[in-house]
Chain A
Amino acid sequence: MNKNIYKVFFFIFLVLIFSDFLTYTLKMPWPLSFWRRQWFMFSYSNDKLSRLLVLGKFENGKQEGIAMERWFSYFVGFETSRYNEISRGQESLGQLATYVCRQYNQEAGPKEKLKSVSIVSAVWSNQKSGRQKLEEVPKKDVRLYPHLVKSCL
């Protein structure tokens, strides 16, 4: 293989690494950074656990939590699945709400369609002595943060 190809690679690597360095040291958003996750490898943590709760309002007036496990079964970590790993920004949560509406209503019977969904974050403290699942935490120790309500119609 022509050595020039490696030289091109090497040059690109240097540019990428230099851009990474600038991104970090000067805190500037740099579009060239390729290794998007490397700095985030356990670079922060807090003493809280959080899970998104998706509550559905049905056409028949009923209200209940939507079991997200039916669409998200890939293992990610303790008390979390892929849907729980998204940003808590409105756009990202809006996409999740749209997805839930679409998938649920695709599979539901004619009178069991979702009318709207609301997304809430449940946050509870993490104990050094051991982690607790959301279901095991006393209700008074769980804080709820409503994010959005989205119509499915």
Chain B
Amino acid sequence: MISLLNKIFNNPFLDKDVPLFSLCLFRVGFCLLLCAQSLTWLPYTKELFSNQGFHQGALSMYALSPVLAKILCIVLIAAAFLSAIGFKTRGALLATLIIWTYFFSIDFINEKAFHSIAILDLLILVFSPCYVRFSVDDWLNAKNKQRDYPLSGSIMPLRLLQLQFCQVYFFSGLFKLMSKDWVSGHTLSQILTSRWATDFGVWIASWTPDAVFYFASVIIILYELFASLGLFIPQTRNYFIIFGIIFHALTLSALYVGYLGLYCILGLIVLFFDQKRLNDFIARAA
């Protein structure tokens, strides 16, 4: 077992140094999303996180008073923002992680996939050198001539983020594949008139023929199943990224998916886009 793990970890796929542009850029975008999500919670902290709200969660008995819940939400917004701009990055990320996890544990009602994904991503970012670029910390260090850290590092945190991203696709696809109603397009057509659909989604459903739902369902399932592979193959990567962006943009406009759609678009662009081309592009822009 140990030797197998050693073999896995010593594979160049996991064991090499790369520039940290993508990781740092992901930190910026991801933390801005967390900041935006927390801002939407702010007017509703009494309902969502205080002891005056209705909760079903592992820590719901530890909900704070409405005033403290509001203050904690403001701290979360500030911490996520500081993580995004990279000021005292590791501390800010840690504060974001702790408060986000606490809020998550208070209430599972209306829980979204993004809520638990965020916890793991934050955990990976806390332990990664994601502050070495696009951060106030780096700018201050450069200004004070204290930039004594490498601008490249292990590819492992990036791979972990990619792995987390891909397994969400894969298992969603697998689940849909095993559902007869999903494969026939029936579920998709119903989703677009369900409580999760936007008015735009309902409008699409009102004139779309059943055959289109069938083909769309098959394409979605195939994409979700094979994205985990296709995103890592240089020849197919860009097609999967482009299709994924279109898919998530449509989902965002037709369904109330919260920040998951934006997270997926961010992940596809920043985590999977050809690293060399991304680095060249950023270097040129800088």
CB-CB contacts below 8 Å: A26-41 with B: 34-41
Contact B190 A82 (CB under 8 A): no
A58 to B4, CA, bound (A): 68
The interface bits of chain B over 197-213 (1 if a CB of A lies within 8 angstroms of the residue's CB, else 0) are 10000100110000000
Stretch at the interface among A8-16, A109-117, A140-148: A8-16
A38 to B194, CA, bound (A): 19
A44 to B179, CA, bound (A): 8
Contact B53 A6 (CB under 8 A): no
Contact A10 B109 (CB under 8 A): no
Question: Given A37-B112, A85-B110, is A42 in contact with B206 using a C-beta cutoff of 8 Å?
Answer: no
Contact B193 A39 (CB under 8 A): no
Contact B113 A35 (CB under 8 A): yes
Contact B48 A74 (CB under 8 A): yes
A61 to B117, CA, bound (A): 49
Question: Given A11-B5, A77-B195, A82-B54, is A71 in contact with B47 using a C-beta cutoff of 8 Å?
Answer: yes
Contact B47 A39 (CB under 8 A): no
CB-CB contacts below 8 Å: A1-23 with B: 1, 3, 5-7, 9-11, 13, 17, 20-21
Contact of A92 among B56, B116, B260 (CB under 8 A): B56
Does A90 reach chain B (CB closer than 8 Å)?
no
CB distance from B172 to the nearest CB of A (A): 6
Question: Given A6-B154, A99-B54, A126-B190, is A79 in contact with B195 using a C-beta cutoff of 8 Å?
Answer: yes
Question: Given A35-B116, A128-B205, is A1 in contact with B195 using a C-beta cutoff of 8 Å?
Answer: no
CB-CB contacts below 8 Å: B204-263 with A: 205-206, 255-256, 260
Does A86 reach chain B (CB closer than 8 Å)?
yes
Contact of B113 among A1, A9, A37, A86 (CB under 8 A): A37
CB distance from B238 to the nearest CB of A (A): 25
A131 to B52, CA, bound (A): 33
Does B134 reach chain A (CB closer than 8 Å)?
no
CB distance from B134 to the nearest CB of A (A): 18
Stretch at the interface among B67-75, B162-170, B277-285: B162-170
Contact B54 A71 (CB under 8 A): yes
| Chain A: interface size category | 35 or more
CB-CB contacts below 8 Å: B126-148 with A: 127-129
Contact A20 B167 (CB under 8 A): yes
Residues of chain B with a CB closer than 8 A to A41's CB: 113, 172, 260
A96 nearest CB neighbor, chain B only? B54
Contact B52 A103 (CB under 8 A): yes
Question: Given A86-B56, A126-B190, is A24 in contact with B174 using a C-beta cutoff of 8 Å?
Answer: yes
B206 nearest CB neighbor, chain A only? A129
Does A120 reach chain B (CB closer than 8 Å)?
no
Does A64 reach chain B (CB closer than 8 Å)?
no
CB distance from B152 to the nearest CB of A (A): 13
A85 to B256, CA, bound (A): 14
Contact B109 A126 (CB under 8 A): no
A98 to B123, CA, bound (A): 37
Contact B171 A37 (CB under 8 A): no
Q: Which residues of A contact B (CB under 8 A)?
A: 1, 3, 5-7, 9-11, 13, 17, 20-21, 24, 34-47, 49, 71-74, 76-80, 82-83, 85-86, 92, 95-96, 99, 103, 126-131
Beyond A21-B171, A24-B175: 16 further Cβ-contacts under 8 Å? A1-B127, A6-B160, A10-B8, A10-B9, A24-B171, A35-B171, A36-B116, A37-B115, A38-B113, A38-B168, A42-B191, A42-B196, A45-B190, A80-B195, A95-B54, A126-B194
Cross-chain pairs A/B with CB under 8 angstroms, 12 sampled = A6-B156, A11-B5, A13-B160, A36-B116, A40-B113, A41-B260, A46-B190, A72-B54, A78-B195, A82-B110, A99-B54, A103-B52
